[in-house]
Amino acid sequence: MEYHPASEINVVVEEYLNMCVETKNNGLCKEEKETVDATGLPRIEKAYSTVLSELGEDVDREGLLRTPLRAAKAMQFFTKGYKETIQDILNDAIFDENHEEMVIVKDIDLFSLCEHHLVPFFGRAHIAYLPNKKVVGLSKLARIVEIYSRRLQVQERLTKQIASAISEALEPAGVAVVIEATHMCMVMRGVQKMNASTVTSVMLGTFNDDPKSRKEFLDLTMKK
């Protein structure tokens, strides 16, 4: 998201590495601990074991011993957005403010799973809105993207859901959402070149009605 000095990025990398030292937390990394649903886990684990066997793998070989469990936890993490609601995160985060200028957040990283192949697609979201009294902390826009992208998705619906959530929560004069993403299901099957990305957009209110606002948003976000 936006500009990060190198020192800040190092902290993020370090946090991530710590998070995934499995042995520290009974075999669960920190993030997983919050998202794992222990009830469903054994059944998903068993299903992954079946998938591996059916692919001709020996599920008892050393490298695969804990793979079904790891894959099950990872899948629960990738779909943790089902358990989160927009209300939860926006509850105390909306403020009254006499600000009418366009608010833009560029380059919000997103990681999702395509619902047709269960294979990742990932890229960036750019969001803008024209406040009508209500504003929200910028980091919350990134959280909205996260909640909807950590579900099984198609890119068009993801784009729409983000725009609708902002529209409903802030009742702004306009909302614009653009997502640029690479779909591994297309890249790995050779349908799409490595660096090709799919762009989807949803323009509501002023961004839909007024070409000037739309152009301003696109000029500010899509410039390489």
Active site members: 114-117, 155, 183, 185
Q: How far apart are the C-alpha atoms of 97 and 15, rounded to whole Å?
A: 34
Q: Please give the helix or strand (H or E) that residue 111 lies within, else none.
A: strand 103-114
Here's the x/- map for Zn ion, 176-215, by CB under 5 A: it reads as ---------x------------------------------
Residue 112 near residue 6, CB atoms below 8 Å = no
Rounded to the nearest whole angstrom, what is the least distance from the CB of residue 188 to Zn ion in the complex?
10
> How many other β-carbons are positioned within 10 Å of the β-carbon of residue 1?
15
Rounded to the nearest whole angstrom, what is the least distance from the CB of residue 143 to Zn ion in the complex?
25
Site for Zn ion in 32-61 (CB under 5 A): none
Rounded to the nearest whole angstrom, what is the least distance from the CB of residue 187 to Zn ion in the complex?
10
Of 66 and 116, the one with the shorter C-beta distance to Zn ion is 116
Q: How far apart are the C-alpha atoms of 155 and 181, rounded to whole Å?
A: 8
Taking CB atoms, the residue at the shortest distance from Zn ion is 185
Closest CA to 83 of 139, 127, 39, 37: 37
116 binds Zn ion (CB under 5 A): yes
Interface positions with Zn ion (CB under 5 A): 114, 116-117, 185
